[in-house]
Amino acid sequence: MRWIIAPILLLALLKPAWGEQPAARQPEELRAFFASREVLARIPFAPGSAQLGPKGRRAVQDILPRLQSLDFRAKLLRIEGSGDPEAGEEGLTLAMMRAKAVSDYLRGVLAEFDLMTLTGQVASKASAQVVGSKSHVDLAIYDNLLNIHSAEIEQTIIR
């Protein structure tokens, strides 16, 4: 009986969010969101390491005034870890560990950093050759066009 009721309840919760934004508009909003990306800093890491070293801590310290002045209702902070495409799944794990190291450091020096998103990525081998080193974390801000922090749980599932 539960397996019948659970999907019905889930659909009932999601239905109001479906009516809010037409599906045709969603890709346009996503494109605008990603187009608003501004990299505030590129935090270096030693190859194969997820430990935030002195250079990385200095890079974070250099942008603290800018981070403190951000309006988090209007901007979204993403900590975007990068990993080596040659490393496969371990590269993705390393990318996330790097993002977490920067997040932990930020939380240690600034108490109000609960409104950030961590991501990890491993580029394709071809794009890694064009972009260069993948031993870094980008601190990037985006316009909060999708209203991420104030969205209700039903909207967040859809977004």
- At 43, is the secondary structure helix, strand, or coil? strand
* DSSP reduced 3-state for 48: coil
| More confident: 89 or 16 | 89
Burial, 44: exposed, middle or buried (Cβ in 10 Å; 0-12, 13-18, 19+)? Answer: middle
User: For the residues 81-105, what does the mean pLDDT come to?
Assistant: 87
Least confident residue range of 87-91, 138-142, 145-149: 145-149
Query: Which residue, among 74, 91, 90, has the nearest Cα to 82 in the 3D structure?
Result: 91
Report the topology of domain 36-158. 60s Ribosomal Protein L30; Chain: A; (3.30.1330)
Per-residue pLDDT band for 63 (boundaries 50, 70, 90) equals: very high
User: What's the average model confidence in pLDDT over 24-31?
Assistant: 74
Q: For the chain, which residues make up each domain, given as ranges?
A: 36-158
Mean pLDDT within 76-101: 87
Centre a 10 Å sphere on the Cβ of residue 107 and count the other Cβ atoms it contains: 13
